[in-house]
């Protein structure tokens, strides 16, 4: 069986620090209505305070709800923080290790590894973000950077006595492409997706890395997504700014639907 054809196509929207509990439900509903396309897994990640409103708005639409972060500990004296278990009934996905948190909260790969463990315990499907800085790419170190990020996080998961979740999703997000209007090249992102699966295979991920969806993130728009979805190694996108715009999400998911349908045909043809 062609395992590539079996991987799902996923479009996840990261709303970051935008929307309010009062505005988020309506936006989520509009996006759900505008993105009814076969074969695409859709996920919206609003701020914590809007999770309940978005969950209610998305009930019955097939669009899933994700958190933008979880704390590395289960519970305790961590003022202002949100643990994975607090998300029960609110979210089924969680973004972990986003570059804005690595940058602003100084999140290390080891801390991110512990967050992955919390996701596993809670049954949250993690979207683990990795990606290099511009200087690292210019110095020819992009692949080493991503390899080390994955290896360190994975080693920490093991140190905690846990395993990488078999439903792991990885988002390759070059930091220089996030919010800048500048995207990576599809071919560079595909090389990185191959490296990500290689490193996950080396780590012994259950079920093998061939089944792990790898998304691209960084200034994805309906106009820019094409060259990423044209790459068989890339299984969708983590979308920031454009995920707040209904028309943009409609265009992005429509394009993803074409990839999903082409993959189904390849799979059926191969069966």
| Residues carrying an active site annotation | 98, 173
Q: Which is nearer to ligand PGA, 96 or 242 (CB)?
A: 242
With binding defined as CB under 6 A, does residue 128 bind ligand PGA?
no
CA distance 192 to 141: 12
Cα separation values, 66 from 14, 55, 56, 105, 156, Å: 9, 9, 13, 20, 23
Interaction residues for ligand PGA, span 158-177 (CB under 6 A): 173
CA distance 69 to 107: 11
Stretch that binds ligand PGA, among 2-10, 77-85, 106-114, 214-222 (CB under 6 A): 214-222
Among 45, 178, 234, 249, binds ligand PGA (CB under 6 A): 178
String of contacts with ligand PGA for each residue 233-252, x by CB under 6 A: -----xxxxx----------
Interaction residues for ligand PGA, span 3-42 (CB under 6 A): 14
Structure tokens at 66: 């994700």
With binding defined as CB under 6 A, does residue 257 bind ligand PGA?
no
CB 64 within 8 A of CB 41: yes
Evaluated on CA atoms 112, 28, 232, 92, the torsion sign reads positive
* Exposure of 42 in the CB half-sphere (CA atoms within 13 A): 25
Among 19, 154, 219, 222, binds ligand PGA (CB under 6 A): 219
Q: Which residues of the chain form contacts with ligand PGA (CB under 6 A)?
A: 14, 173, 178-179, 217-220, 238-242
């Amino acid at each position: 069986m062609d395992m590539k054809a079996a991987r799902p196509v996923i479009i996840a929207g990261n709303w970051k620090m935008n929307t309010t509990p009062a505005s988020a439900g309506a936006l989520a509903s509009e996006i759900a209505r505008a993105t009814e396309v076969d074969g695409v897994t859709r996920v919206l990640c609003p701020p914590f305070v809007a999770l309940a409103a978005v969950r209610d708005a998305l009930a019955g639409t097939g669009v899933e709800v994700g958190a933008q972060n979880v704390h590395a500990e289960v519970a305790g004296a961590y003022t202002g923080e949100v643990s994975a278990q607090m998300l029960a009934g609110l979210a089924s996905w969680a973004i972990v290790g986003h570059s804005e948190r690595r940058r602003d909260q100084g999140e290390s790969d080891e801390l991110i590894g512990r967050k992955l463990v919390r996701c596993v315990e809670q049954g949250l499907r993690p979207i683990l973000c990795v990606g290099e800085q511009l200087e690292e790419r210019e110095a020819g170190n992009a692949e080493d950077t991503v390899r080390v990020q994955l290896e360190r996080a994975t080693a920490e998961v093991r140190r905690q006595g846990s395993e990488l979740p078999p439903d792991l999703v990885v988002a390759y997000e070059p930091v220089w492409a996030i919010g800048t209007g500048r995207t990576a090249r599809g071919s560079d992102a595909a090389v990185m997706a191959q490296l990500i699966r290689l490193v996950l295979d080396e780590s012994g991920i259950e079920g093998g890395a061939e089944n792990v969806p790898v998304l691209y993130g960084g200034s994805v728009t309906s106009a820019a997504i094409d060259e990423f979805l044209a790459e068989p190694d890339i299984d969708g996108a983590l979308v920031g700014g454009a995920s707040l715009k209904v028309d943009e999400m409609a265009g992005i998911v429509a394009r993803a639907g074409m990839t999903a349908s082409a993959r189904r045909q390849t799979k059926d043809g191969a069966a």
